[in-house]
Structure 1
């Protein structure tokens, strides 16, 4: 009984440490991406085109379902639209919302495809029917990781959810009256990664809960937001 209780506690702590490790990794990657936005945009663009080519090859050589593969290709074309304003993104914009919906639908359809091992009714009594080869766990995990999850996860880490405008005064005055008016006040855009916003929100909520139990200290999430 005691050993079983200890195993439950150990599992809970293991899950907690794993979650913290993933969150720390996402936070660190998000900071790197913010400093190298242009190379990240090129890498994501090439990755999307590469996955589209891979899906076409799976249809040609492995007889993957055409309709489902076309939907996956269209989904990646939608993901590509997010890169037009990279790394800035509007969480209420139609492109981002449609991208979130396609991620869920893509996952559901492909999960149903790989999980469906039933013999079609018209072939149940056919002795010559050869059932479709069932993919192994490694094959399914690799396909989901590359063709379903990779781009949405990369976009989640790379895109910025908000921006702050910091006014600065121009040093040199322009002779042209119009240009002088435009350059009198400039705006420098500072972006905050979407992953950092989510992680900081969770940290803030945890901090508020800890305060309810008497914990005293500074909220660490404000440092991550640069406030």
Structure 2
């Protein structure tokens, strides 16, 4: 068989493209939802941070999770909480925002090392190769911990935060015309979500590549 593997590769590429588009559309919708309900989103994220801090404390006390790693996770969520002071606006050069990005990666590395070493020690102490230790967390449990306690809050913040370059101009920036003051556009009154900006820039880049390749939209045909 030489044709069926090619069909399999083609199907994988098409499926990956559809999955990427679905994820991008979902993130775009979430960003729109947060922009429409900023106050509710801020309350939800704040309560979510407190919930995960409490969950990490319970895991440390009940399931004997390592104390230093737990303190690192709690401290990281305290730093994430500091980003809520000007929610949903954020400066990409803000030291607190940069520290949050570093802590996300550090938390992922620390907990990945913890679970991998825990599994390695458990299987080394097993009497037989076919024995399954009882105290080894399953893949579902590990993935759930990473999803809830490591990635959920940073991901939610990334979807919710808006770039501060798009907020209302200050006294040191360009003056606003009277027409903008009376009925300015929606994008001028508030910042655009970073996810929306990323998706729109990607779509604009795809459109430019298509234009360079000679592809024209239906509007261009009508104008010509």
Q: Mark yes or no: TM-score above 0.5.
A: yes
Give how far 1:96 is off: 1.0
**Is the helix fraction higher in 1 or 2?**
2
Q: How has the CA–CA distance of structure 1 residues 132 and 107 changed in structure 2, closer, same or farther, with 3 Å as cutoff?
A: farther
CA distance in 2, matches of 1:164, 1:210: 31
Corresponding position: 1:91 with 2:92: yes
Listed as ranges, the gaps of 5+ residues in structure 2 are: 126-132, 170-175, 179-183, 219-224
Count of equivalent residues: 196
Q: How does 1:129-208 map to 2 (within 5 A)?
A: 133-162=135-164, 163-165=166-168, 167=176, 189-208=189-208
**Is the strand fraction higher in 1 or 2?**
1
CA distance in 2, matches of 1:103, 1:89: 17
Deviations 1:15-52 (A, max 9, x none): 11000001001101101100100010000000000000
CA distance in 2, matches of 1:98, 1:46: 21
Corresponding position: 1:26 with 2:13: no
Give how far 1:85 is off: 0.3
Give how far 1:118 is off: 3.1
CA distance in 1, matches of 2:26, 2:72: 31
- The aligned residue for residue 210 of structure 1 is 210
The CA RMSD measured in Å over matched residues stands at 2.5
Deviates more, 1:104-113 or 1:157-166: 157-166
Give how far 1:132 is off: 8.2
- The aligned residue for residue 181 of structure 2 is none
